Structure 1
């Protein structure tokens, strides 16, 4: 029986600058669509059936002198692959529960920390999802939480704070929100734009333009700014005029796709207006902190995902004053594949469907596809 490591242990190994050989034994199509991404990961894709049929020695890209982490969808095929490798003199372990476990792994990193304020980014690397915990005094605000709410409870407990407000920038389509569940769990208010919820049955407070949410002992406040385009009710949050939690409106390497409601050109026009009337009014020095990222190349040396708005403007020609027609044609005309299961996930996030934990895990399998990354110039 092969040894196994957890998603946390794999992450820690890669974060500690240890080169990690990952042998993904899934079908090539599944691997190309979605795989572990880290700057210290050396990826190999060979199926277990091929290792069994030909012997691992045939595949010279598999090193004999380094530990090999075998990965599959749920951990079964990778255990078999690790056993085969170990029987032939390699040193191999299996990622316990495979990509299913990696999909549900989160870790926190501090973006900024002062005497009376800390902004924590919670990274879910398999999904490219980003959420936030704002801490001040005895209070905390959580923005765009994932459905695994223990991570936010743990952060609050570590900082000895109470979660007072939970905010979603929009109705997410690539993952199940933990906003309502977390708010209910801690007795907090749950906020989202009313237009995002349709006929859903979730209790919420409606975000309005200019809503200010002061908290803690600091002088910070959170200002809600409607930024429609990815969805009509998308809302960004400006924190102390220094940090914009931008949801899926603007990313480090692109803008939010406008087509998931079936109105690509109409919503692209909304996004153009958001760029022209909202983003253009924000100072270049404001740090953009989005709800998603596209790859490990977007992680800064400080360990978080984000960039100054001026840097993003300089690399994205659609933020540089192009015409509405050019903007709309570019955004609406090159969208690529949609997020897996997105219509079902939207119904879940509106309180119209109630999947079991096992069903929720399956719904979330796969990458996020919320960005139009080709917009980077």
Structure 2
């Protein structure tokens, strides 16, 4: 039986910035689209079929006693390559259990900080996809924002903390991943919130997430203050938590800004995006801590494994906030776009309640990196 490493163990290594060597044996096209990344990660791609008759292709490039983590799509091919490596004298070869499919679903909870009343805010980092969700807890109650599909990981977390989930919020209708918010709300008897301007076609009941309607959690000092901030979607809504944290959804990231085209409305929404970023957000206090719903690069993770920045610093350092000419900004966000997320139309329909794919199909729909950002 080949030695394995779990996604949880690999996540800890990456978050702790340990030197990590990965041999990815998927085909080169898949590897180029999406791979495991981290500040201290070194990765080599050698397709599985090139190693079937022996591992000579890599044997001269890697020390026999070096730790090698072998990765494939689902964990089967990589297990066979680990066995080949062991036969060739490698003493520290490990198979990533479940492969990239499992890596895509792992959530790593990281504490962001404390609230004024003694509560806490946590960031759930989806290392394999760059998605970020948040749990805010106060006085035994919790809100989860931009919940991932894997709701069991949040349930385990709150059970260990002895807290109750009362509210689930989506800052907008997601196009890159399937939201677990409504499902978890139904399961635990919580309220599910969605911006009404993003909910025109949804097939389920929800509570409107609207500016002016604060949500109180735990002690009354902890307020979730929604601010209408369109641009990525027409309903995108920012949350201010405890007058300290700014949950920007997919409008503003640490090194980039949100794209306006995933509902086919780039030309219509680019003006909204600019107004949100260059006017509305500029009126907010610069010391607010920005907590986005995604990140694009491993370098955005700080030494503690979290993704955050002061709003004022982003106006100095984020290139997407430096384009003062409106026509240049419009050109940047309509012409400088990456490929659209995998199965994004199907994901949007799922999040609207129009379709309900089988679990395995949902996993397939979410494979690959998030592509919600425009990089200036």
Determine helix, strand or coil for the equivalent of 1:246.
Answer: strand
Number of residue pairs matched by the alignment: 374
Aligned to 1:220: 222
Deviation at 1:220, TM superposition (A): 1.7
User: Which is worse superposed, 149-158 or 166-175?
Assistant: 149-158
d(CA) in 1 for partners of 2:320 and 2:90?
A: 50
> So what's the TM-score if we normalise by structure 2?
0.95
What stretches of structure 2 of length at least 5 have no aligned partner?
none
Aligned to 1:364: 366
d(CA) in 1 for partners of 2:166 and 2:89?
A: 55
User: Which is worse superposed, 49-58 or 232-241?
Assistant: 49-58
After TM superposition, list the pairs within 5 Å mapping 1:191-340 onto structure 2. 191-217=193-219, 219-320=221-322, 322-340=324-342
Deviation at 1:321, TM superposition (A): 6.5
User: Which is worse superposed, 362-371 or 58-67?
Assistant: 58-67
Aligned to 2:84: 84
Aligned to 1:173: 175
d(CA) in 2 for partners of 1:53 and 1:157?
A: 48
Deviation at 1:93, TM superposition (A): 1.6
d(CA) in 2 for partners of 1:314 and 1:156?
A: 37
User: Which is worse superposed, 165-174 or 55-64?
Assistant: 55-64
Determine helix, strand or coil for the equivalent of 1:278.
Answer: helix
d(CA) in 2 for partners of 1:87 and 1:255?
A: 48
From 190, 193, 209, the counterpart of 2:192: 190
> So what's the TM-score if we normalise by structure 1?
0.95
Deviation at 1:99, TM superposition (A): 0.3
Deviation at 1:53, TM superposition (A): 3.9
d(CA) in 1 for partners of 2:17 and 2:266?
A: 42
User: Which is worse superposed, 327-336 or 171-180?
Assistant: 327-336
**Contact 2:252/2:277, CA 8 A, preserved across alignment:** no
d(CA) in 1 for partners of 2:333 and 2:189?
A: 40
Give the root-mean-square deviation of aligned CA atoms.
1.6
d(CA) in 2 for partners of 1:144 and 1:158?
A: 21
Aligned to 2:52: 52
After TM superposition, list the pairs within 5 Å mapping 1:103-118 onto structure 2. 103-113=104-114, 116-118=118-120
User: What per-residue deviation string (whole Å, max 9, x for no partner) do you get for residues 317-353 of structure 1?
Assistant: 4424713222111111101200010000000001001
d(CA) in 2 for partners of 1:321 and 1:55?
A: 50
User: What per-residue deviation string (whole Å, max 9, x for no partner) do you get for residues 168-211 of structure 1?
Assistant: 00011111000100111111110011221232212200111222
Deviation at 1:55, TM superposition (A): 3.4
d(CA) in 2 for partners of 1:66 and 1:165?
A: 47
Is 1:13 aligned to 2:13, yes or no?
yes
What stretches of structure 1 of length at least 5 have no aligned partner?
none
Determine helix, strand or coil for the equivalent of 2:18.
Answer: coil
From 351, 354, 360, the counterpart of 2:353: 351
d(CA) in 2 for partners of 1:55 and 1:206?
A: 57
From 151, 154, 173, the counterpart of 2:153: 151
User: What per-residue deviation string (whole Å, max 9, x for no partner) do you get for residues 76-124 of structure 1?
Assistant: 1111111111111013121111000101111100000256220000111
Aligned to 2:70: 70
**Contact 1:109/1:120, CA 8 A, preserved across alignment:** yes
Determine helix, strand or coil for the equivalent of 1:23.
Answer: strand
Aligned to 1:27: 27
Aligned to 2:96: 95
Determine helix, strand or coil for the equivalent of 1:52.
Answer: coil
Is 1:61 aligned to 2:100, yes or no?
no
User: What per-residue deviation string (whole Å, max 9, x for no partner) do you get for residues 277-296 of structure 1?
Assistant: 31111121111000000122
Determine helix, strand or coil for the equivalent of 2:360.
Answer: helix
User: What per-residue deviation string (whole Å, max 9, x for no partner) do you get for residues 193-242 of structure 1?
Assistant: 12212322122001112221111125121111111000000011011221
**Contact 1:48/1:80, CA 8 A, preserved across alignment:** no
Q: Relative to 1, partners in 2 of residues 1:296 and 1:321: Cα closer, same or farther, differing over 3 Å?
A: closer
Q: Relative to 1, partners in 2 of residues 1:205 and 1:125: Cα closer, same or farther, differing over 3 Å?
A: same
d(CA) in 1 for partners of 2:80 and 2:320?
A: 49
Is 1:164 aligned to 2:166, yes or no?
yes
Deviation at 1:311, TM superposition (A): 1.5
